Structure 1
């Protein structure tokens, strides 16, 4: 009997990690992601695996976002030595993601150990190192979309485009169990069809069990047209106030889409005189990878906006400034108005965006625009929920900047798109809902039952389901 045990992203939106066990397949991890809250709370005592990393035969990675990939170095550090299957683009993005995360971790660790030293306490030892990240990269086995690859004697994997970020995959895992073929489909993160850059998620028809994300399972996004109109209105108001705009954005996916939307506004003469700052070395590196893959994406928006070399960084947005060095980032603080700053991290759990908040969040002329999901426990979620004061770098800071949310820029499918995707299966599979907060998953489950008589299950953390 095959089983699936849910070690993360069960009634939560981060920490994706699902363990499939079968005598013919072995022990296979679908994703190995970190929980993305305030980093400090995970610093002293990191999450321990609820399984033995030595026993895991392989990892199948849906995409490069850290809530799906971020614990891979810990897995290697604790004894895993097997292959890690992913798409080709994911294998290019993963080094950027993991080395950036390592840098943040090491900075936090040094800061915490300095505090401990002043109190006469011992240092906290590093939980993983650069060598562990390099070991992860050595284990990668890139696979092209639609290519079926044998991963065990009676098992194979195939990736399909999930349309979420570059390289994001729907995983189709096929294996024999007691003489009978079984097929598991894991959606990973499904993309929002109403975007300018990414392809639509691939529709599949056959599966025995489907693990589907439900991040926005209880709601819909505004249309692309409405969202662009809303963005223009927010920017016009901010410009009239003489302020600056800060957009926390994930370096992979969101930053690239934003450049495309802003380019559209500029080419239509609707961007006023904003100076756009991509203040993220990581996002710049990631965008260079996106540029390599533009011909494979739904990039008509890029083609229509200029006739030169296809690139999101070159000859596309004339007022775009790429801020690589810390000194470049700090120089933005001298600009009193007209700066549109795109910086990480996307949930404001660290990175350069927090420094911009320190300098600008207390000024009512300024605006913060949230364009991505904000998980519970993150600074981004606290601000979206209406906080009047926040703690930054040890200081209590008043929040006077205008807080705006644009969920139409989401890289996740809304409720209708999720239902459309899963209802396309003709084999009446068991449906398991993951990667969503309880209200979102319950709303999606109710809609599936009402519209298609699909009885979806919602597992809790640590639960095991047989199939």
Structure 2
């Protein structure tokens, strides 16, 4: 695509999510052209449904992610077998299997596995087990995944499509309304509940955790990366209790970290992608990882003979002459209590401003205070989901 004079781009399959892409960018100023590649989130290899990341042959500069730049994945021998075992054990105790999952990509991957479990009869004690996807966004994404995606799917998924829908099987329920979501926790029958968000910092998953974390017969299964400061990370690190909707909830459920389900490339796959360039890039900028990880991965790249460093905030670099013009500013470490996305943290800050506004109204008329309370209650009812 020619964006404008001197700027041309091309998208290459990054193999992370359906439609995810690395970006090749050609920039021309006068008679000088430089090619920059932005990796985006690179995908793991041999994932179901989507294709592996595609390599790129040449670049002057590379800006690449480092999410798992300091570790290797440890996949189980069989995703479906290991998940089936967890479901069997949990249901035999009368509990639920709660899976916090990202709405796009990970949820569909899980449904793909669930269909295989059903087809192969892997859940021995409860072969007709119920699976509930409780996320309107995930449900819409699943409908997109179920459409004609030739050119995006891998060969195994295309072959599976010949037998019907990729994600349809007996016992699958897609809930839409908040009433349907609440009803899942009123139903005493054991079930698998897949719900967003993947790191447990927002969305319907928090309600399911509130109703199931304290139950020893239940299992909470993590199937993706949990960022530092997130509720998901706290649970993986052994939190004994967590606060949900103003209540302290004991953590008695079994906590399972299914590392093998990561959709991110690990250290070795990132290195393989970076080393594929010939000739070597002039420089690689390492970004999008926890502060310690970006530097570790940059060192791995240097050990592999590539010029690389972990880029800092507000750093300025001259691409025409391959030199740094201004060093960046290291960002302060994130407080342990700070979790969630930047948008979520802004919302938390707005909540503090709301408390200040409430205090400023102390001494107001009863009529004004009652009106303020009425508006707040309406807002809470709308958003406490």
Structure 1 position 307, deviation (Å): 4.5
Which segments of 5 or more consecutive residues in structure 2 lack a partner in the other structure?
320-385
Q: For the residues of structure 1 that align with 2:176 and 2:146, how far apart are their CA atoms?
A: 18
Match of 1:262 among 97, 101, 114: 114
Q: For the residues of structure 2 that align with 1:193 and 1:438, how far apart are their CA atoms?
A: 25
Q: For the residues of structure 1 that align with 2:66 and 2:177, how far apart are their CA atoms?
A: 38
Counterpart mapping for 1:284-433 below 5 A: 284-303=139-158, 305=160, 307-312=162-167, 316-429=168-281, 430-433=283-286
Structure 1 position 295, deviation (Å): 2.0
Which segments of 5 or more consecutive residues in structure 1 lack a partner in the other structure?
1-148
Q: Does 1:163 align with 2:15?
A: yes
Q: 1:278 and 1:300, CA in 2 relative to 1: closer, same or farther beyond 3 A? A: farther
Counterpart mapping for 1:121-132 below 5 A: none
SS of 1:296 mapped into structure 2: coil
Q: For the residues of structure 1 that align with 2:88 and 2:295, how far apart are their CA atoms?
A: 38
Structure 1 position 401, deviation (Å): 0.9
Is 1:189–1:412's contact at 8 Å kept on the other side of the alignment? yes
Is 1:194–1:223's contact at 8 Å kept on the other side of the alignment? no
Q: For the residues of structure 1 that align with 2:27 and 2:305, how far apart are their CA atoms?
A: 28
Aligned to 1:81: none
SS of 1:243 mapped into structure 2: coil
Counterpart mapping for 1:225-304 below 5 A: 225-271=77-123, 272-273=126-127, 274-303=129-158
SS of 2:150 mapped into structure 1: helix
Aligned to 1:42: none
Q: 1:250 and 1:358, CA in 2 relative to 1: closer, same or farther beyond 3 A? A: same
Q: For the residues of structure 2 that align with 1:385 and 1:465, how far apart are their CA atoms?
A: 38
Aligned to 2:75: 223
Structure 1 position 409, deviation (Å): 1.1
Q: For the residues of structure 1 that align with 2:317 and 2:251, how far apart are their CA atoms?
A: 45
Q: For the residues of structure 1 that align with 2:148 and 2:205, how far apart are their CA atoms?
A: 27
Aligned length: 315
TM-score, length basis structure 2: 0.78
Q: For the residues of structure 1 that align with 2:118 and 2:42, how far apart are their CA atoms?
A: 29
Q: For the residues of structure 2 that align with 1:292 and 1:320, how far apart are their CA atoms?
A: 18
Alpha-carbon RMSD: 1.8
SS of 1:156 mapped into structure 2: strand
SS of 1:292 mapped into structure 2: coil
Match of 1:177 among 23, 29, 42: 29
TM-score, length basis structure 1: 0.64
Q: CA offsets per residue over residues 254-293 of structure 1, 9 Å max, x none?
A: 1111111111111110133421001111101111122224
Aligned to 1:449: 302
Q: For the residues of structure 1 that align with 2:15 and 2:295, how far apart are their CA atoms?
A: 24
Match of 1:436 among 286, 289, 304: 289
Is 1:196–1:300's contact at 8 Å kept on the other side of the alignment? no
Q: 1:220 and 1:171, CA in 2 relative to 1: closer, same or farther beyond 3 A? A: same
Q: For the residues of structure 1 that align with 2:275 and 2:114, how far apart are their CA atoms?
A: 35
SS of 2:77 mapped into structure 1: helix
Aligned to 2:63: 211
Counterpart mapping for 1:129-144 below 5 A: none
Q: 1:436 and 1:403, CA in 2 relative to 1: closer, same or farther beyond 3 A? A: same
SS of 2:242 mapped into structure 1: strand
Q: 1:336 and 1:305, CA in 2 relative to 1: closer, same or farther beyond 3 A? A: farther
Q: Does 1:151 align with 2:3?
A: yes
Structure 1 position 296, deviation (Å): 2.4
Is 2:75–2:261's contact at 8 Å kept on the other side of the alignment? no
Aligned to 2:45: 193
